[in-house]
Structure 1
Amino acid sequence: MMNDKYSRLGQDIYANIGGPNNVESLYHCMTRLRIKIRDDSKVDIAGLKAIDGVLGVVSADTLEIVLGSGVNAKVAQSMVSQVGVKENEEFPTNVSNYQAEKSEVQAKAAEVHAQHRAQLKQTWWRKALGHISAIFIPLIPAFIGAGLISGVAGILRNMLTAKMLPANWNLGVTILSMIASALFAYLNIYVGTNTAKEFGATPALGGIIGGVVLLPGVVAPVTIPNFLDGKPLAAGQGGIIGVLLAVWVLSYVEKWFHEHIADSVDIIFTPFLTILIMGLFTVFVVMPIAGWISNSLVGGINWVLNVGGPVAGFILGLFFLPMVMLGLHQILTPIHLEMIQKMGYTPLLPILAMAGAGQVGAAIALWVKCRKNKKLVRLIKGALPVGILGVGEPLIYGVTLPLGRPFITACVGGGIGGAVVASFGHVGAIAIGPSGIALIPLIANNMWWAYVIGLLSAYAGGFIATYFWGVPKTAVHGEVEDATPAVAERKAAEAKADNLNMPSENIEVDFAAPVSGNLQKIEEVKDDVFSQKMLGDGFAIEPIDGKIVAPVNAKVESVMDTKHALTLKTKKGHLDILMHLGLDTVELKGAPFAINVKPGDEVKAGSVIGTMDLDAIKKAGKDPVVLTIIANMDRVDHVSKSDDTAVEAGQVVFKAITKLIGKNDINVIGKSDDRTAQSQFDAH
């Protein structure tokens, strides 16, 4: 059931972004699904926001869909698995499967009822931020894991120094430090690999350049001079900034050699020349220049914090969330890492973490003041625990931002917390990762208490500012209205359900075998889309002759041009039925099929509606299995299936019992009327 849940959520997302064919690549970070879109006009932002499970949507160069920690990883895996690629790999331009076509058609239907995504002007800095995001986000789980281990090792080491632990704990602390160092000591190599992958170069070559910055094998008294000042280069000089710059240049050098070296010797000379040229360029050009940039950047930030103090902390805490909204926060990742490499900690992260704490305070104020708004309270209850732990997106996109003013007052709370942390000075984190209380073990120099005081100040600031000035009157009583087109469409569908005068009792719909043959469970069909019930539940039959009959009393809704599939709608129970003749038989262009009904015809269960040439289908290498699927399973309470056995065409083999439908049921047939199974399956 869990896999079905994430698969369905992924399908809903595909349906509102133009399908897999409109995706260039996707990957997940801590709380978001990040998708590079090919054609922005096919994206239905309102439809995405209306999906159950989506906490928020951010429109930028990379489409960001907030799902929450844990869920996003499973949904991302589900979505890439359907296409046959890995996260961050390029999607094929012609994804040929049922679900791709279903998503494409549903996306087109949604475009009629929703606003198109506003086009953002492409700028060099937006592209640069997108690259930085793609390089570092895959490393965040490693930063969190190794950082926490390093934090635990630091606490234990302090306890050993204070003689609170016996001396034999030294070995354990050493081992923990060694495990954490496996990331931080060789971080340049990991960054080099990811950078090469992002810019289309060979990842291993990027890793080598990252290793070159560490100057392996250069041991005193041997040195390499810095051309800027003549002093010896230090291992790691230029750090992360140097690796990013060098590997970016490497990507162009490698591509140039691929284009100009003969294919027969490309595999030999391209990597050899690329490594040689870029190794020398990195040592004698990149490292000196990047080292100067790095020193200036770190020194400048420290100067601002030392001189500006609480004022600088307030400004940073106040504006960090707007930076997140614009995607500008990504530029801070290499800066954090550079400060950690040079100073052992980053003083920026604890200050910026206060922005999330301000959200927590604002959410608590809303909870207190809007107790009668049950929907809002439910959202807060779900988002608050992870917000306290440092995952703020559910609170931002699900609670404060939609209400407007609470987002602003939460930012004020973040500014207050940032001012408090900056006033203490020397409060830094030894690794990047989570914020909130989860960051406490990563605070350096035993300054965790100052960080905690900052958190409490941000909670209080966000609470007070929101309680007195940030609660909209519309949020105090009842539920907050959402005027998006998707919600308006849903309300119209509810009204349509009332007018349909739906029955208030369960209805049993009998399904007959459409062909004679061997009954087969749908789970055994050799097509994941059907066997995993992505399109709905039903049954399959391996036919022994070519006569096809109607499985139910119904009206023909559509017949595919390739005659391999048709859709029906039952009057009894209002079920949408897909009949699918064979697997991948769309490629046969209708040759083996003769269908003698057309859209609008009424058919009776057991009446002949066509024929199929089994020998021709098998000769073409296709499976002739006949599938009968209920496409709108939201109408079905449960089904009853016969055991696998030989059946005759017209014999009852399957029963569906519909749900009770009332005026408040939002999963009405009106919605499926607009999106019947008709054109969902054109590709097969």
Structure 2
Amino acid sequence: MGSVNYQQLAADIVDKVGGEDNIATATHCATRLRLKLRDESKADKAAVEQLPGVIAVMPAGGQFQVVIGNDVPQVYQELGKITRFGGEADSDAGGEEGPKGNLLNQFIALISSIFLPVLWPLSGAGLFKAFLAMAAQFHWLAETSQTYIVLNAAADAVFYFLPMFLAVTAAKRFRTNQFTSMAIAGALVYPTIVALNTAGAPVHFFGIPVTMMSYTSSVIPIIIGVWLQGYLERFLNRTLPGAIRNFMTPLLAILIMVPLILMTVGPITTYAARGISSGVNALFAVAPWLAGAIMGGLWQVFVLFGLHWGFVPIMVNDLTTQGYTLLGGPLVSAVLAQAAAALAVFVRTRSAKRREIAGPGALSGFLAGVTEPVIYGVNLPLKLPFYFGIAGGAVGGAIAAAGGSANNAFVFPSLLGLSAYMAHGSFAMQLLGTAVAIAIGFTLTFLFGPREEPDSANAAGAAAIPDDGSLDTVPGPGGVAGGSGMATAVRTLDVSASVAGTFVPLEDVNDKVFATGVLGSGLGILPTDGTVRAPVSGTLMTATSTGHAFGVKTEEGVEVLVPVGVDTVQLEGRHFSTKVTQGEHVERGDVLAVVDLDAVRAAGYDTTTIMVITNTAALTSVTPIAQGQVAVGDPVLALEI
């Protein structure tokens, strides 16, 4: 599929099914584009099947199903660019809820997806800021010079106006008008709105008191705002007359959303931040180490939710009245622990794309205290590095605070800013805390963090040995594995049962697409237990929001697809509880989902769980070895690679 033009394929499919007007709905599952047509007689099934990239066409269940395989998300995304359907924001259920699973996983997946398109500008600008900070620190460039002012504006703009960048990506995620979203974000960072916050005077809107906060560089307010905008726009588009809809919808959306955010998100965030900051500041008087642990451990979390702005007035007041602020002491540990965790990812990961973000991002974190690139592009999506960074920041912050460390100037917590911590408290304890934080963040991530898979498996023509030891090398004609007499090394890999149940030959499963083998060789299992586990170790290339299908790619490049039930995508996630998110590394036996089998059967769906090797053609052989009853973890497929 690598040579297929997805844009052309999407356009050809639309044309040959009778045009966009003949499509009532469009969704996709793990392998198929699912179109519900208004008039199926207008669709040229044979012509669609002949399109490059189409494996088969299977009308079933009232849907015109175009089987494309693992690349169906790319086709679906292109479909969204030329029709009112599809697009990168949509899920296979056609909804906007995002990944299922626990709330933390949903939140992380949501934030990561919204930040993904902005990561490279953030990373580049972060490195720019690091070099600029170095130039100022070593007096290569005066901070008062016009040259510095111009360069600083260039480096800082993407961070200052971050809400406007996120407005665009969030609008795509929540399927709303991105230009209206940008207008809303622009109002939040408009100079006069910023001035209202910095002035400190009471602010009213039609007589209603408004609690102001700084929205520059903020994340959560605009994401919440765009999410609400999506509901508002869909309501307005349904109710407004066509003659005025085009201009009244954005007018009302801006008119309603800007004051709503200012009067709700602002006060909630500000009062929460003030409460936390006051409590932490008071704690420094009775238990400095505990206050330091809270600040060092949770500072990046505060930044994520915009709560850190509540600490800034207290810090500024402390600097003005007493010449130093204890609140700043633990922050070096908080920032550098996250940078160290990212550095460990850079060393450990096999993903070149992740490494390209982690390396420069870690450098900008260490030198300039700019952690946005590594938080949103590395640590938070991978979870464990973020947690390890929190742990390092907490321990290091406790040590620094126990020594009374404080900064006597308002600086970004970083290596270059350490000079501001020399005048008050024990600088030795600050250095010790910083070193411990770096050591914890780096070591824990290096030892226990996800290693990730190469972006392109077998790019060098040889596969790495998996951690589970399931890959063996079979001797060639020379008689010694890997010896000089070996003509071809045949490697084997066993695939384990994802569910417990009864073996079903692939040709007998109640899905013609899989039964014909067009998507690869495999088998089915009629499950007796609803816990679905990973059949191999690898990266989750597919983890549908509906929880009905998962695709794992091993280090050797083997692609295992596990659809749970037949046509269960129609349930739109009901009775499925997903435990993982796309992009995660899973080990063989990890729980992928828990399914209420009785409820699925009661809804009229076949629960047969299918396991297929979607890149069968690239392997030497795929042989089902299951018999009768199988238990979770039993070898069911033997592969020769």
Give the TM interval when normalised to the shorter protein.
0.3 to 0.5
TM-score normalised by the chain length of structure 1: 0.40
Q: Which has the larger radius of gyration?
A: 1
TM-score normalised by the chain length of structure 2: 0.42
